[in-house]
Chains A and B, each alone.
Chain A
Amino acid sequence: MAVQSRPAPVTPGTVKPHLRGVKTLLTHQTFRRVSQLGFAVFIAFLAIQHVVIGENGPVVTASPEAFCPFGGLETLYKYLTSGGTFVSHTHLSNVVLLVAVLAVALLLRSAFCGWICPLGFLQDLVSNLSHVLQKRLPGLRRSMTSLKKRGARLAVLDRYLRYLKYLVLAWTVGGSAYFGFMVFRDYDPWSALLNLGEFSFTPGMIVLGITLVASFFIERPWCRYACPLGAASGLLGKVSPTYLKREESACTSCKICTKACPMGIEVHTAKTIRSADCITCLECVGSCPRNGALEVKFGLPILGK
C-alpha cells in the first residue's frame, strides 16, 4: 500500500509550479469571477422580473434598487433622524446591505468591490474584452501601447483624480441628508443601468456610457475616481486587520503584480498594501510567480505581523 506523504512546505522565493489543464481553473481568481457573476445574474433577474411583472402584478416584486448598499448610505441620515422612514426608492434592505458591506470592509477591506459589486464586474468584463482584442489585433495593441505612453505624462493627474470619489461621497450623503431625496440617483450609472428596462433616460446613462468606454482603456475607472460606496468602504477598510504583505526577500520586483492590479496600485514597491483604493481582488497574489512573495495576512499591518 502506497503511503501518501504530506507535501513539503514551499520555500519562500521559489517559483510557483505552472498550472495545467483543469487546475488552471481551480484558482481563487475563478472563484472570484463566479462570485461576481452570481451577483450580476441575481440583480439582472430582479431587474427583468420587476419589468415583466410590473408594480401592479399578482405578486410584489422587489426593485433591484432595493439591493443597492449605496442606497442605504443615502437614506441612513433620514432613517436615523426620522424614526425609521426612508428617502424615496430606498427600503430597509438598503440599510441592511450597507451594514453588510461595512462589516466586510471592517474585517476584510473593500472586498465587496472586488468580489461582489456587479458594476465592478461589468467594468472588468469590458477591460478583459479590451485585453483579448489587443492580443488578437496587433494594430489595436500598438495603438493602445502608444496611447499609454502618451498618457503616462498624466500619471500625476491620476493621483489627484482619485480624491474625486471622496467629494462624490460627501455630496451624495450630505445632499441626501439636506434635501431629503437621492441627489445622486440621476447621475448614478448603476441606477441608470437598473432602470434601463423602464426606458428612463437620465444623466446617469451618459455616466454609464463614459464608464464603459473608459473601461476599454483603463481598468475600473468608476471605482478609481468616482464610486462613493468604494470611497466609504475603502476608508473603513483602513482600520481592517486584513492586509497584503510583500515579502521583500522572496520578491524579485518583476512588476507583474503591479501590472495585474486593476486599481493601478504600485504593489511591487510596497511592503504592506494598505491603500484605501485596494479592492482586495487578489489578482496580484494570483499573478505573482514566486511562493510567499505576496500574501494575504490577518493581523496588525503596523507591526507587520
Chain B
Amino acid sequence: MLRKEINDLLTQTNAGTPMGDLFRQYWIPALLASELPEDDCAPVRVKLLGERLLAFRDSNGEYGLIDEFCAHRGVSLWFGRNEEGGIRCPYHGWKYDVNGNCIEVPSEPEESGFCEKIKLSAYPLIKLGDILWTHMGDKDNVPDLPKWEFATVPAEQTYSSKRWQESNWLQAMEGGIDSSHVSFLHSGGLKSDPLFKGAAGNKYNFNDKKPVFEVVDSEGGLYIGARRMAEEGHYYWRITQWVMPSFTMIPPRGDHPVHGHFWIPIDDENCWAWSYDYHPTRALTDQERQYMIEGNGVHNQYVPGTFRPLQNKDNDYLMDRDAQKRGELYSGVWGIAMQDASLQESMGPIVDRTKENLVSTDNGIIMARHKLRKAVNALTEKGVTPPGRDTNHHLVRSVAKVLPKDQPFSEACADDFKAEVGKPQTTV
C-alpha cells in the first residue's frame, strides 16, 4: 500500500512537480539515433515528462530538441522545413536553430533585431551508443555524460529498442524490479525464447518457484537478489540492478546478451519502455540481432511505422487462450515484453496503490518507492543531488551466480557488480 499523497508524488512528472524535478536531474533517453538518420532529415515529435518537443538534425549534423510549437502563433514545427541550419515554420517562415534561437523572421526588417527577442525552450541532445539522450533540467547544472555500459560498448555489441507503454512510468518500472513474477508470467519464455533458453541456470528457476528475496542498498539504488535452491549446500542467486530513477539490468542467462530497461515518462499516463541488450565481451551474432529485431527477449513487434506494440490493448494483445491452456504461455500473451506490458496496462493509466496488498516478496518495490520518495524530498527541501546522477553509479553489472548457502551475495559478488571494459559477465 502506498498513501495517495506519495502515489501522486512519485507518479506525476510534468514540469514543476517534485518527481519531474528529480527526472530532470539526469540524462534520459529521448530517441533512437536511427530516428534522425541524416542531416536535414524529417523532424520527430517527442513528448517527454509532459513536454511537447521537436527533435531535429540540422545541416551540420547538430542535434536539437526544442519546443514543438512556433512562438508566433503556436503552429507545430513538425510541419516545418528542416533546411539550411534550422527548422522553418511553414506558416510564416519563422526559423529556429538547434538551440531554440529564432534566427529569421522574414516578415520583419532584418535590422529590427526582432528575432533576437524570440527563443524557444531547448534541451541538449547528444548521441551515445544508438540512443539520443537529453537533459531537461538546469542548464547550469548539467551532469556528466552517461556511462551505462550498454551505451558505451562498441556498436556491434549492443542493440536498443523502445516501445510506447500506455501506463504511468512507475508501475512499468516496478515490474522490472519485481523478480517474483518471472516464475509465473514468463515461465514459458525461459523454455522457448531464443534469447533466454538453454542457460544452465534456468533449471533452478524451474525447480524452485518460491524464491526468497534479499534487497540491499547500493550507491545508485538497489541490488535486488532472488535466491533459489541449487545443489546441496548452495543457492542460485539472480541479482538485478536498479539505479535511480528508472534504470534496471536483469541478470544474465548463460552466454546470452544481458538486457534491461529504462522507463521514461511521456506524460503521467504513458511512458517509453526502453529495452537494451548487449554483451560486454563479444559482438552480438547476426542471429541474436535478428531475434531482437523480431521482438524476442525484452523487445517486441510493432504496428508498422510506429513504436506502438503490434500486440496492444485494442486487440487484447492477441491473447492466445489455447496456448495458455496448453501451458505454453502462462498468460496467453506472446513475448516477455508484452506479457509485462499487457498486465501493467491492465492496472489502468495510473494504478491506485492505496488499494494494493503487498507481501514480503515485494520488498524490492517497497524499497524503491522509499528511496525515490526520500530522494525527491531531499532534492526539493535541501537541493541534495540524487543517487544515480554520479556516473560511477552507471558502471554496474547484474549477476547470476551459485553461492554457498552461508555467503551473502553483497559480499561474494562485490567485484562482479562492477562494469569494466572487457571483463566477462558473471553468469550461469
- Is B a genuine binding partner of A? no
Partner-B contacts on A (CB < 8 A): none
Partner-A contacts on B (CB < 8 A): none
